[in-house]
Structure 1
Amino acid sequence: MTSVVGGLVYGLEGLHGGFGPAPFRHRMPIDFGAAEQTFLREHGISFGIARSVAGRRVVVERAFADAGARPRRRRVGGAAALRAPQARLRQ
Structure 2
Amino acid sequence: MNAYSPQLVMFLSSLSDLPQLQLHSGYSVRSYQPGDDAAWNWIIKESFQKEYDFVKDISGKDPFKPERVLFVCHDCRPVATACA
Name the TM-score class by shorter chain: under 0.3
Scaled by the length of structure 2, the TM-score of the pair is: 0.28
Scaled by the length of structure 1, the TM-score of the pair is: 0.26
Q: Which has the higher strand share?
A: 2
Larger radius of gyration: 1
